[in-house]
Amino acid sequence: ATTFDEFTKLVVTKSRGGSGGPKLVFTPIQLNVNKRDITFANQLFINNEFVDASDTSRVLRTINPNDESVICSVQSATKGDVDRAVKAANDAFESGEWPLMNARDRGKLMFRLADLMEQHKEELATIESIDSGAVYTLAIKTHIDSKLSVCRSTRGSGAVYTLAIKTHIGMSIDTWRYFAGWCDKIQGSTIPINNARPNRNLSFTKKEPIGVCGIITPWNYPLMMVSWKMAACLAAGNTVVLKPAQVSPLTALKLAELSVYAGFPPGVINILPGTGSVCGQAIADHPLVRKLGFTGSTPIGQTIMKSCAESNMKRVSLELGGKSPLIIFNDADLDRAVRHAMGAVFFNKGENCIAAGRLFVEQSIHDQFVSRVLEETKKIKIGDPLDRSTSHGPQNHRAHLEKLVEYAQIGVKEGAKLVYGGAQVDRPGLFFTPTIFTAVTDDMYIAREESFGPIMIVSTFPDGDVDGVLRRANATEFGLASGVFTRDISKALYVTEKVNAGTCFVNCYNKTDVAAPFGGFKQSGFGKDLGQEALNEYLKTKTITIEY
């Protein structure tokens, strides 16, 4: 029974040419999951075709973290496959249809892809859920905040982070639409310069695409991280060779399929599942790749930066690790602080680059805060991410789960107080209990290192010691995000000025938006995703001076 909403979307899609377009011949993986049929490819995507890897014996086994069952085997790209994809991307950039296309028409293709993603949102959400453990929400919306109040009233404290799949899929769609709107608004400027008298001079700049861009994305938000980087890259007029996360490549391959139906020319988008050591390294080393965007760990980011320098001095932007401080003052709205602090730590099972890695709670409210958090944490429904009542799903893969168990053991050994959790859940699958540590001192491992999991690290600071807590918050090599809760606007603004992080949330957390630049300082990397600033990562400025 077609709804009016579905009908109107179909009319819009047809008006944008999204039906009856290019066909794609391949043999998909077909599954019936979540009471629906889903299909996706398991090959490499090069030049608008799904093709076999040069070595078909090399495969990646994708695992469903809910029960550790094998979803399928995905072919793994070799160095030769990377060369083939890069050359296809270079041909598309140099002499294909893409560089001849009007910027507005490029935007139409991106809008069309977003429309197709919207049509397939339930399928994308299901694939993302089985491939990464992301909690599925039936009513997948492209906008998150408008539904927060409803969800909070019906699902309690878990609502702040039960919207994970709305972020995974909804924000991905929003990202494509946002950058599609930028395609015909990229422009240079005229510059007054001294004239070579008696002649006159005119100087102006042009913003031009860089060329072939390599993109390497992480496993915590598989589709969203692909979208954050690829949408800006394509809006700027580049072509792309992308390596999705080795353990969660399936929604990227589905996106590749939809890009053909949207009408993207051959070679513009190339997606290569593979390992970091082979496929990722080959992209970083390739001389025809002129820019590389990476999201992942700081050690790998350092390796990539070195490879980019040694190969051909390719430009690089890095979004790396974090240990984001969240400061809660005693004048904060405690209900709000508890709710958002839980979201800051437990959202997406803690697999969140900007997660609050350390909470600083003012001494006079510490015990009350911890008591409230503990009470609400015990209510969290852990279970199958496809179950509509679940608010906390499994960790992405086994190696990560084992690291979380070890991380908690280190915390106990060093003398931190384990208030709750700290171990794997006693059930099949890769589930880790939401965990709370208190009495954490600055010298402890868990105070300094990122867990990338649902582990809340709580420390106290003396009442009124604003500068002291800021010194402790900044005493880290990371600088990705931060947060503060207080009713005192002067105190809040003082913290935003002094905290050394790329993002600072005031009386909220995890409030990212496609229009707001996102990126870190120090060893959390450099460069921006999202917002107008993200376009600059994929553009070069050419100065033209005329004498007349």
SS3 sequence, 210-247? CCEEEEECCCCCHHHHHHHHHHHHHHCCCEEEEECCCC
Percent of the chain residues past pLDDT 90, beyond the cut: 90
Contacts of 226 (CB under 8 A, 6+ apart): 172, 215, 217, 242, 244, 251, 252, 255
Separation of alpha carbons 314 and 305, rounded Å: 9
Same domain, 265 and 342: no
- CA angle (519, 132, 344) in 5-degree steps: 45
Q: Examine the pLDDT at 1 and tell me if it is beyond 70.
A: no
Q: Examine the pLDDT at 162 and tell me if it is beyond 90.
A: no
Mean pLDDT of the 17-38 span: 85
Identify the CA nearest to 350 among candidates 156, 510, 470. 510
Same domain, 282 and 409: no
Same domain, 424 and 360: yes
Residue with tokens 């906390």: 392
Whether omega before 198 lies within 30 degrees of 0, making that bond cis, reads yes
Using CB atoms within 10 A of its CB, is residue 241 exposed (0-12), middle (13-18) or buried (19+)? buried
Same domain, 372 and 300: no
Q: Examine the pLDDT at 138 and tell me if it is beyond 50.
A: no
Angle between helix 222-235 and 171-180 (nearest 10):
0
Same domain, 252 and 371: no
Mean pLDDT of the 468-485 span: 98
Q: Which amino acid is at 436?
A: I
Same domain, 489 and 365: yes
Q: Examine the pLDDT at 236 and tell me if it is beyond 70.
A: yes
User: Could you tell me if residue 9 is inside a domain?
Assistant: no
Q: Residue 497 gets which letter from DSSP?
A: H
Question: Which two structure tokens, joined as six digits, stand for 265?
Answer: 């020319």
Domain count, the chain: 2
Q: What is the DSSP string of 39-59?
A: EE--SEEETTEEE--S-TT-E
Same domain, 127 and 273: yes
**Domain that includes residue 495, residue range:** 325-514
Using CB atoms within 10 A of its CB, is residue 509 exposed (0-12), middle (13-18) or buried (19+)? buried
Q: Examine the pLDDT at 479 and tell me if it is beyond 60.
A: yes
Mean pLDDT of the 258-283 span: 98
Model confidence at 63, pLDDT cuts 50, 70, 90, reads very high
Same domain, 270 and 404: no
Q: Domain containing 205 — which CATH number?
A: 3.40.605.10
Same domain, 243 and 376: no
End-to-end CA distance of the chain: give it in Å, rounded: 68
User: Could you tell me if residue 103 is inside a domain?
Assistant: yes
What is the average pLDDT value for the chain, to the nearest integer? 93
Model confidence at 511, pLDDT cuts 50, 70, 90, reads very high
> What are the pLDDT digits (tens) for 98-130?
999 999 999 999 999 999 999 999 999 999 999
pLDDT value, residue 279: 98
Contacts of 25 (CB under 8 A, 6+ apart): none
Q: Residue 277 gets which letter from DSSP?
A: I
Q: Do residues 255 and 242 lie in contact, with contact meaning Cβ atoms separated by under 8 Å?
A: no
pLDDT value, residue 167: 82
What is the per-residue burial (b if ≥16 Cβ within 10 Å, else e) of 510-522? bebebeebbbbeb
pLDDT value, residue 420: 98
Separation of alpha carbons 515 and 533, rounded Å: 9
Q: Do residues 282 and 308 lie in contact, with contact meaning Cβ atoms separated by under 8 Å?
A: no
Which sequence positions are flagged as catalytic? 319
pLDDT value, residue 17: 53
Model confidence at 430, pLDDT cuts 50, 70, 90, reads very high
User: Could you tell me if residue 519 is inside a domain?
Assistant: no
pLDDT value, residue 12: 62
pLDDT value, residue 514: 98
Q: Domain containing 430 — which CATH number?
A: 3.40.309.10
User: Could you tell me if residue 520 is inside a domain?
Assistant: no
> What are the pLDDT digits (tens) for 445-459?
999 999 999 999 999
CA distances from 6 to 1, 118, 168, 264, 412 (A): 10, 10, 21, 24, 53
Separation of alpha carbons 264 and 258, rounded Å: 9
Q: Is the pTM of this model over 0.85?
A: yes
Same domain, 298 and 343: no
CA atoms within 13 A on the CB side of 215: 31
Q: Examine the pLDDT at 151 and tell me if it is beyond 50.
A: no
User: Residue 358 — φ and ψ, nearest 5°?
Assistant: -155, 130
> What are the pLDDT digits (tens) for 181-230?
999 999 999 999 999 999 999 999 999 999 999 999 999 999 999 999 99
Same domain, 245 and 329: no
Q: How many helices (H) and strands (E) does the chain have?
A: 18, 24
User: Could you tell me if residue 256 is inside a domain?
Assistant: yes
What is the per-residue burial (b if ≥16 Cβ within 10 Å, else e) of 310-338? eeeebbbbbbbbbbbbbbbbbebeeeebb
User: Could you tell me if residue 272 is inside a domain?
Assistant: yes
Which has the minimum average pLDDT: 3-17, 54-68, 238-252?
A: 3-17
Same domain, 410 and 310: no
Question: Which two structure tokens, joined as six digits, stand for 537?
Answer: 């990562």
User: Could you tell me if residue 387 is inside a domain?
Assistant: yes
Using CB atoms within 10 A of its CB, is residue 190 exposed (0-12), middle (13-18) or buried (19+)? exposed
Q: Do residues 138 and 129 lie in contact, with contact meaning Cβ atoms separated by under 8 Å?
A: no
Model confidence at 15, pLDDT cuts 50, 70, 90, reads low
Neighbours of 4 (CB within 10 A): 7
Which has the minimum average pLDDT: 138-147, 189-198, 479-488?
A: 138-147
User: Could you tell me if residue 439 is inside a domain?
Assistant: yes
Percent of the chain residues past pLDDT 70, beyond the cut: 91
